Amino acid sequence: MARILINDLRKRFDDTEAVRGIHLDIAHNEFVVLVGPSGCGKSTTLRMIAGLEEVTSGEILIGDRVVNDVPPKDRDIAMVFQNYALYPHMTVYENMAFGLRLRRLDRSEIDSRVQQAASILNIGDLLQRRPKQLSGGQRQRVAMGRAIVRNPQAFLFDEPLSNLDAKLRVQMRTEIKKIHQRVKTTVVYVTHDQVEAMTLADRIVVMNAGVIEQVASPQEMYENPATRFVAGFIGSPSMNFLPCRVVTMGTGLGVRLSDEICLPIPDDRTSRYRPHVDREMVFGIRPEHVTEQRAHAGPGQFDFDALVDVLEPMGMDTMVFISIDGRELCARSAPKAVTEVGKKMRLTVDMNNLHLIDPTTDRVV
């Protein structure tokens, strides 16, 4: 169990800089998830921590040791891959014990570690089976067991659930969280799935085009995204973005979305947004903060009418798509409250949860 420190890490492939000077401090026993779209540099970063990719410049410390030039086998880390990487001719027990045998551990110590890991993962009855006799979820548990038996300083997960079906992924997310609670170890986990990131992480690292956009706890990142990219990437359905203008409304301010719709800005935000009066900005609001008309529980909630373009029933909720000045906005409504497509619907927007974005910097102001 160890702290992982990354200082000004860079990776260049010919003329392409895949990782561009990132800094990251991962605490002892912390579960950190690197998330972002394909090509953002998250897997390359993980592979550099593991020693599977050479560092162009910068520094990686595991514990108190700089490991840039340390071979992967000597970094005291364990990696779990997307494709399980199990030996097909070996039993589950032999797969889990293989690395320990290479380290010439005593047979009783090997057996103790394998049995303990099998108990944690609930695969004790599978130890004599071979990989072809296992389901995808069972194979992933074996791959995790092979990592656990090593008692490493850190676990590195490279999209370990992407080969599983949707139901099994949900189940395995829960299992991984339980395992981390029982086996307190530093974890660096890579995924492109923001739901995995939100449910698993102590802290999320959102990467984009080789740089870190934001590092925060899941709830902090959801409620207070730093950039438009983070705001749009975290959350499902994703945040709505509409062009707007900040205008004066009496003694306060408002957000003008169209000739018909101008929404007052809550008083506690006026000083923050006043420097942006009469500027073209981007209005960001999550679908759950635009709902069917509701009684206003507090200040900052306002109503407006809009034509319903599309309805998407989701069971517990119905997603309502409307157009404001030719731009699509998604609202989340109770199923029984929606009107028919093509008819007007009265909606309530909670302006206490608005995000105002400067289009010149894509930063949330």
Task: For 106-124, write each residue's pLDDT tens digit.
Answer: 999 999 999 999 988 889 9
Among 233, 265, 286, identify where a domain stops. 233
Distance CA 341, CA 346 (A): 13
- Give percent above pLDDT 70 in the chain: 100
Q: What is the pLDDT of residue 85?
A: 82
Shared-domain flag, residues 32 and 175: yes
Based on the fold, state whether residues 258 and 132 are members of the same structural domain: no
177 lies in the same domain as 302: no
Report the number of distinct structural domains present in the chain.
2
> How confident is the prediction for the chain on average, in pLDDT?
93
pTM value? 0.91
Main-chain dihedrals φ then ψ at residue 215, nearest 5 degrees: -125, 125
CATH of the domain at 26: 3.40.50.300
Same-domain pairing of 294 and 221: no
**At 293, which amino acid appears?**
Q
Sequence-ordered list of residues with C-beta below 8 angstroms from that of 141, at least 6 positions apart, any chain: 121, 122, 123, 175
193 shares its domain with 110: yes
Q: Please calculate the CA angle 221-239-314 and round it to the nearest 5 degrees.
A: 110
pLDDT tens per residue, range 126-142? 999 999 999 888 888 89
- Give the closest residue to 237 by CA, choosing from 190, 200, 284: 284
Residue where one domain finishes, among candidates 233, 259, 285? 233
Tokens read off for 302: 């306002």
**Peptide bond between residue 313 and the one before it cis (omega within 30 degrees of 0):** no
Sign of torsion, CA 42 44 50 56? negative
Let me know whether 56 and 203 are in one domain: yes
d(CA 96, CA 105): 13
200 plus 252 within the same structural domain: no
Give pLDDT, residue 1.
64
Q: Which residue has the higher pLDDT, 147 or 217?
A: 217
Convert the pLDDT of each residue in 150-172 to its tens digit: 889 999 999 888 878 888 888 88
Summarize pLDDT for 290-333 with one digit per residue, the tens: 999 988 877 899 999 999 999 999 999 999 999 999 999 999 99
**In the predicted model, is pLDDT for residue 184 greater than 80?**
yes
Residues 229 and 306 in one domain: no
pLDDT computed for residue 173 by the predictor: 87
- Are both 311 and 202 inside the same structural domain? no
| Residue 293 belongs to domain with CATH number | 2.40.50.140
Do residue 270 and residue 217 come from a single domain? no
Of 3-7, 175-179, 210-214, the poorest mean pLDDT is in 175-179
Whether residue 345 sits in one domain with residue 252: yes
**Last residue of a domain, which of 215, 233, 251?**
233
pLDDT at 179: 85
How far is 360 from 229, CA to CA, in rounded Å? 13
Q: Which range of residues forms the domain containing residue 337?
A: 240-364
Q: pLDDT tens across 72-108, in order?
A: 989 999 998 877 789 999 999 999 999 899 889 999 9
Are residues 186 and 53 both part of a single domain? yes
**168: phi > 0 → left, psi -120 to 50 → alpha, else beta; which?**
alpha
